[in-house]
A and B are shown apart, each in its own frame.
Chain A
Amino acid sequence: MQRIGVFVCHCGTNIAATVDVKAVAEALSHEPGVVISQEYQYMCSEAGQNLVKDAIKEYGLTGVVVCSCSPRMHENTFRKAAAAAGLNPYLVEIANIREQCSWIHKEIATATEKAVILGKAAVAKVHLNTPLTAGESPVAKRALVIGGGIAGIQTALDIAEAGFEVDIVEKEATIGGKMAQIDKTFPTLDCAACILTPKMVEASQNEKITIHSYSEVSAVKGFVGNFTATIKKKKRFVDETKCTGCGLCTEACPMKKVPNAFNLGLNNRSAIYIPFAQAVPKVATIDPNYCLKLRKGDVNDKVCGKCAEACTVGAINYHQQDEYIEQKYGAIVVATGFNPIKLDKYDEFAYNQCPDVVTSLELERLMNAAGPNGGTLLRPSDKTHPHKIVFVQCVGSRCDDSKGKPYCSKICCMYTAKHAMLIREKYPDTEVYVFYIDVRTPGKNFDEFYRRAVEQYNVHYIKGMVGKVTPKADGTIDVQASDLLSNEQLHIDADMVVLATAIEPDQTARPLATMLTTQMDTNDFFTEAHAKLRPVESATAGIFLSGACQGPKDIPETVAQASAAASKAIGLLVKDSITCNPCVAHSNELMCNGCSACEKVCPYGAITYQDKEFRMPDRTIAIRRVAGVNPAVCQGCGACTVACPSGAMDLNGFSNSQIMAEVDAICK
């Protein structure tokens, strides 16, 4: 005979304000097998857990039902409490009467009725629970970091520091990411390259770190502690091991009119290129879309070949093919970063019409000493000094969903203040206007920085938004905007307009999330496991989040999160083995008809078929093809139990009979 204890939690007023918890406890006390039914204010507190533990000992409970919050929140807490009192932890069931009941209902009567039904279902299920024992699986002592910007570099350095092997996979020809393109950094105005490039070098020289540049993750299989990733090293037509980065090939290349992606197309480069002087790895890459030889289609043709002639070490290889590497990892850190959005939808700012309307990232390149103008700020159209510059904030940020991004891009207020200040410092004869909706400066020394731009550098901050930008025949730009405080419409005759463009997650993020079975929000930012308490972990075990792939962030925040993600990954990698989930599938070989339906739906490749000998009723021996589950690989998703036509597949802890018992209890 089962002896079941029911424990109903008030969760303060979270549950008790909408659910009559006393009535729930009373109703459930009459369920078959229930020997004790109690309610308490905070069941997850130590006193609450002691109620459970004491009842297990006192009543010799064979099953426990806790009516409380979601099992995602506290199932583990109560399982541990049960285990401490000597009850198998898998004999504990949670009835979610908070997220699925009290939070979504308003009327006490209906919420209470539903809570009772959810409790009854859990009691019915726990009747059929069986003790389960968790197995263990080994942890591969190697981490994969996807993305080689400042977030990925910092995460990799920290993991390597702890003594573990790390691979960085970067899709571009060099690591460094967006920070490498930035000129100066707020609020201290130190140069980005001066603080980033030493870290890039450190990463390349660290024995524990392997950098796969110009590479992509093409497949990921497995689970926490035991991932297998396939890395595609894209053909760059240059042997990385031979190339010394001398740059002779780039000089020899006759195809010089390739838009320079690193400078955002503001100047040109050659078809064979090294992205920038401090690139890591400093290896040349041929752009096959522009290379005269590769575009020809037949590499054996005698076209061009100037780079191969110039190369003194014979590193050029026109026959190079994509290479695939397979590697085992214990932990994966996503650091795919961000991009500015495309401005095609915002015709009013004339971005596509006028070369002197630029994005803020383009301005970074225009002001950078290594940029297209060698650090002198010139208008892209006629290479003259601009004397009046208008900055527009919130371009594409804080919009209705139909108009742009609904979120604040967070970094624009500060970098605009930085740009305004730097321009006023270097070119005091230039007037700078900033149109803002709000100036958002939460951060250490941030508001002081913005005030300096206004008070010391006399940047004109105007509360209002630019409505229309019109390039004029004389080369200037008419900026029509509202000044809300003086309640007038302004027309500014500007030489340049800079748009603080909203940022969005990199396009590679969504396919990657599918590959990793991690969650994203509607804006394609990766979702953290808990918004407040687990900010650097994804909801999928073993996948961690670093930097702007999780939400807009400035550099200090990105570095902080990168190190936090590293410490979480290290916490996993130091373990020799991790406890597996015992709620895995198993097949009843006598019922299995060998149809392979389960094998086809299994997302983890946990099911294999083998031929086995069976004794038949007529005492003959028959060989039948039956399914078997590898419990170390199975993640307990249950897809096979649904697919199985003969009912041979069943899931521990969520057996078909348990689910049916729950349904029966609900329908009763």
Chain B
Amino acid sequence: MNNNLKEQVLRSSGVNVLKCMRCGKCSGTCPSYDEMEYHPHQFVYMVEKGDIETLMNSKSIYKCLTCFACVDRCPRNVEPAKVVEAVRLATIRKQGNNHLIADNIPEMLDEDLPQQAIVTAFRKYTK
């Protein structure tokens, strides 16, 4: 259980996982179901338990199509796809271990490269 990660996922997804009534309609409707090791309903439940690292290490986060069928059909408005997206985001933010160091950025400045891209990359690939 990693409370910091759980907090981060809950905050960035804006989802209240406690609204889930465990009906499984999200997984019943998911077109990517067979591709996924962990299914939409498991994402919601595992985030509730704080078991985020298991999800982050699973390929399932890249199998979600973000088609939002689960979001559309969830009777309780839990929005599972947003949870999957938040876990994906946590993984991306974690990766890198300072791939970008602030001091190196001036060298990377390039007239053809929008500055915004560098700022975005800095945000993503820096701890």
Contacts and interface: CB of A to CB of B under 8 A. Distances in A.
A487 B39 contact: yes
B26 to A, nearest CB: 7
B10 to A, nearest CB: 18
B17 to A, nearest CB: 14
Contacts of A463: 24
A394 interface: yes
B59 interface: no
A265 B70 CA distance: 33
B28 A480 contact: yes
Interface string B49-71: 00000000000000000000100
Interface in A95-145: none
Contacts of A55: none
A465 B21 CA distance: 11
Contacts of B25: 465-467, 482
Contacts of A487: 39, 42
A46 B45 CA distance: 52
B77 interface: yes
B75 A466 contact: no
A29 B29 CA distance: 68
Interface string A191-227: 0000000000000000000000000000000000000
A402 B29 contact: no
Contacts of A398: 21, 75-76
Interface string B1-44: 00000000000000000010111111111100110000101100
A484 interface: yes
A484 B41 contact: yes
B24 A465 contact: yes
Contacts of A402: 77
Contacts, number: 72
Interface size class for chain B?
20 to 34
A400 B76 contact: yes
A483 B34 CA distance: 13
Contacts of B33: 482, 489
Contact of B28 (A394, A399, A466): A466
B28 A489 contact: yes
Given A484-B41, A489-B33, A404 B75 contact: yes
B94 interface: no
Interface string A65-89: 0000000000000000000000000
A403 B74 CA distance: 8
A482 B41 contact: yes
B76 A403 contact: yes
B29 A437 contact: no
Interface residues of A, number: 22
A579 B73 CA distance: 55
B27 A482 contact: yes
A627 interface: no
Given A348-B29, A480-B29, A481-B28, A464 B76 contact: no
A122 B39 CA distance: 61
A489 B30 contact: yes
Given A394-B23, A482-B24, A489-B27, A467 B39 contact: no
Given A400-B75, A403-B77, A467 B26 contact: yes
A482 B74 CA distance: 13
Contacts of B76: 398-400, 403
A484 B77 contact: no
A30 interface: no
A467 to B, nearest CB: 3
Contacts of A483: 24
Nearest to B28: A467
Question: Most chain-A CB neighbours within 10 Å: which of B24, B27, B34?
Answer: B24
Question: Most chain-A CB neighbours within 10 Å: which of B19, B29, B39, B41?
Answer: B29
B21 A437 contact: yes
Given A400-B19, A489-B33, A489-B34, A467 B75 contact: no
A487 B30 CA distance: 13
Contacts of B77: 400, 402-403
A401 to B, nearest CB: 8
A465 B30 contact: no
Nearest to B75: A399
Contact of B73 (A437, A464, A467, A489): A467
A451 interface: no
A610 B19 CA distance: 62
A484 B22 contact: yes
Contacts of A481: 24, 28
Contacts of A467: 25-30, 69, 73
Interface of A: 348, 394, 398-400, 402-404, 437, 463-468, 480-484, 487, 489
18 contacts: A348-B29, A398-B75, A398-B76, A400-B19, A400-B76, A403-B74, A403-B75, A404-B75, A464-B28, A465-B75, A466-B25, A467-B27, A467-B29, A482-B25, A482-B27, A483-B24, A484-B22, A484-B41
Q: 7 closest A-B pairs (Cβ-Cβ)?
A: A467-B29, A467-B28, A465-B25, A400-B77, A482-B28, A482-B27, A482-B24
Given A394-B75, A467-B73, 19 more contacts: A348-B73, A394-B23, A398-B75, A398-B76, A400-B19, A403-B74, A403-B75, A437-B23, A437-B24, A464-B23, A464-B28, A467-B27, A467-B29, A467-B30, A480-B29, A482-B24, A484-B41, A489-B33, A489-B34
